[in-house]
Amino acid sequence: MKAHRVRDHALVLRNVHVFTGRGNTLDGVDVLVREGLIRESSRTRLDPRGARVIEAAGKTLVPGLIDTHVHLDFLSVRNGIHGWFQTRFALPRALEELTRNGVTTVRSMADPLAPVNRLRKRVLRGSFASPEILSAGPALTAPGGHPTSTLAKDNPWLRKHIAVTLDDPEAARAAVRRLHTAGADLIKFVYQGGLYGPDRIRLRKLDHTIALTIIEEAHRIGLPVSAHTHCQEDVDALLSNGIDSIEHGVIEHELRGTETLQTWRLAGARLVPTLSIAALFPGPSGGLYIDTARKNLACAYEAGISVVAGTDSMIGAMPPNTLHDELRRMVHAGMCEFDTLRAATADAADLLGLRDRAVIEPGRRADMVLLRSDPLERIENIADIDLVVQDGTVIYHAPDPAPAQARLLQPIWTSGHRLHRPHRDHRSVPCDCAVRPKPLLRTWGAQPVLFRPTHWDSAAHRNRGR
């Protein structure tokens, strides 16, 4: 089980197409990895002695994915022994599964800190493959607030460990300092009142002075702060006070046309839209939160608010590919593929204060995912994983794919490729020609199917300018 900690001496990914994480791409480069770090990326062939060479022509290399909002599944845990079993068996399996989906860093939000620290120790020792786990530990909230009176309502153990309730500013300062000492990487607090969910649970919201004290104290000791919100007035109340990220954002009502958007952009706080959970949770009207969440993400993005990917998924209880799903939802909400991938790589790392990874450039940690097809063409390709490199070592190599012929001949309804989406703020775009590939009629078995080549595959694009 410790095999993945034995580092490949040196690794060359040969002739690969690279999405750097910053929003530009490189074509036909060799990427050299040694002792955990990216050392060089070059258009000339690299051939260091003893290096393991992986031929990657036609494949796309992206930085390891970051999910900035997850929970580890402690929902059903009712005592310390059960918690121990959870961190010993179920969670390692679930985390390992996550790395196979290209996720190399996660940020746990509102989890019991001692069990998370136990897991992190085992990850460091190399007991199992796992994304690196950053953690907020328990969430700070009001007595009678979320999640104390919602998720943990009937579970005293959970109530005690996933939240710290506060009713005065001095207690807030002390709680922030205690979490810092105990190893928290950030502070998360819940800022939501009113009625919650279809059960109409009445939530108590943190006093505004306490919320501001939390932000001030955390920043004083160098920890970033994230706030869980649902309502516009609550976001408004935090923006001018240096909050680093808003989790979920505004999902109870629509934001289009409000002043909040401009204030938000100027404040620079990131939005973590957590569409995956919004797609599961019913709001007060009985419908799902996703419709409002999607619309508000679209106008936040248009307004220039920085968006970072986070699923709010419960690791161990939800599918390990939820981040792929989140990225697909972000693109369908109106974000372009470039910005969506940045949101799960370089921009996510910026929010987490991790300057050592998430960009494919010399000196960065070699957390990377090699894909068989290009997610910039079609975001769903993020699931087309060939191998996953973490800390310079190949930790997962997917089984051989179906023959190329069968994959090319996908029926038209599964190859929903859009052409030339508008991009914002990119140093380079993959292509600026206006070629539109013609669909071709092929046969698949006895079945005639309409095959639509992707723009980048089309002969017209490859021959452009000739």
Among the listed ranges 128-136, 222-230, 280-288, 385-393, the one in contact with Zn ion (CB under 5 A) is 222-230
Smallest separation (angstroms) from Zn ion to the CB of 50: 39
Smallest separation (angstroms) from Zn ion to the CB of 238: 14
For Zn ion, give the closer residue by CB, 365 or 455.
455
Which tokens hold the place of 114?
Answer: 């001692």
For Zn ion, give the closer residue by CB, 68 or 99.
68
Among the listed ranges 83-91, 102-110, 128-136, 325-333, the one in contact with Zn ion (CB under 5 A) is 102-110
For Zn ion, give the closer residue by CB, 109 or 300.
109
- Asked if 312 interacts with Zn ion (CB under 5 A), we say yes
Nearest one of 124, 128, 135 to 67, comparing CA atoms: 135
Burial class (CB in 10 A: 0-12, 13-18, 19+), 305: buried
Sketch the per residue contact string, 397 through 436, with Zn ion: x for CB under 5 A, - otherwise. Answer: ----------------------------------x-x-x-
Q: Site residues for Zn ion, window 346-385 (CB under 5 A)?
A: none
Burial call 229-252: b when 16+ CB within 10 Å, e when fewer: bbbbebbbbbbebbbbbbbbbbbb
Among the listed ranges 176-184, 221-229, 262-270, 439-447, the one in contact with Zn ion (CB under 5 A) is 221-229
Among the listed ranges 7-15, 55-63, 101-109, 383-391, the one in contact with Zn ion (CB under 5 A) is 101-109
For Zn ion, give the closer residue by CB, 109 or 215.
109
Smallest separation (angstroms) from Zn ion to the CB of 228: 3
Smallest separation (angstroms) from Zn ion to the CB of 19: 17
- Asked if 460 interacts with Zn ion (CB under 5 A), we say no
Residues 6+ apart with CB under 8 A from 155: 75, 77, 78
For Zn ion, give the closer residue by CB, 5 or 420.
420
The helix (run of H) or strand (run of E) holding residue 201 is strand 201-203
- Asked if 228 interacts with Zn ion (CB under 5 A), we say yes
Beta bridge partners of 106: 67, 133
Rounded to an integer, what distance in angstroms lies between the CA atom of residue 394 and that of residue 10? 11
For Zn ion, give the closer residue by CB, 289 or 396.
289
The helix (run of H) or strand (run of E) holding residue 264 is helix 260-267
Size of interface with Zn ion, in residues (CB under 5 A): 7
Among the listed ranges 32-40, 50-58, 290-298, 305-313, the one in contact with Zn ion (CB under 5 A) is 305-313
Sign of CA dihedral 285, 291, 293, 296: negative
End-to-end CA distance of the chain: 53
For Zn ion, give the closer residue by CB, 216 or 457.
457
3-state helix, strand, coil in the chain (%, to 5): 30, 25, 45
For Zn ion, give the closer residue by CB, 433 or 440.
433
DSSP classification of residue 401:
P
Task: Return the number of other C-beta atoms located less than 10 Å from residue 85's C-beta.
Answer: 11
For Zn ion, give the closer residue by CB, 18 or 109.
109
Smallest separation (angstroms) from Zn ion to the CB of 249: 10
Smallest separation (angstroms) from Zn ion to the CB of 230: 8
CA distances to 384, 412, 457, 463 from 444, rounded to whole Å, are: 21, 12, 19, 27
Smallest separation (angstroms) from Zn ion to the CB of 236: 18
Rounded to an integer, what distance in angstroms lies between the CA atom of residue 203 and that of residue 240? 24
Binding residues vs Zn ion (CB under 5 A): 109, 228, 312, 431, 433, 435, 461
